[in-house]
Amino acid sequence: MSFAVPADRTQFDPLGAGAMLLGVLATCVGAGALIGWAAGSLGIGVAIGSVIGIPASILGVYRAYRSSF
C-alpha cells in the first residue's frame, strides 16, 4: 500500500542540502576572513566566521526544508 505525498510538500534533496550547508558556511567564513583581515587578524576572523557559519548553515537548511521533516 502506498500513500500519496501532498503536492505542496517539498521533497528533501540531500545534495541540495549539502550544497546549501557548504555555501552558507563558506560565505560566513569568507566574510569573517575579510572582516578579520581589515581588523588586522585574519585567523581570528576565520575562526569567528566558522563559529557563526555552522549554526547559520544548519538554520538555513532547516528553514529551506522544514516542510519535508
Q: Which three cell numbers stand for residue 42?
A: 585574519
Q: Is 50 inside a domain boundary?
A: yes
pLDDT computed for residue 4 by the predictor: 63
Judged against a pLDDT cut of 80, whether residue 40 lies above it is answered with: yes
Q: What is the mean pLDDT of residues 24-39?
A: 97
Entry pTM: 0.80
Task: Print the domain residue range for 56.
Answer: 23-64
Amino acid at 57: S
Element (H, E) at 30: helix 14-39
Q: Is residue 7 included in any domain, yes or no?
A: no
User: Would you say residue 44 lies in a domain?
Assistant: yes
Q: Over the stretch 1-31, which tens digit does the pLDDT of each residue have?
A: 666 656 566 678 899 999 999 999 999 999 9
Q: Quote the number of domains for the chain.
A: 1
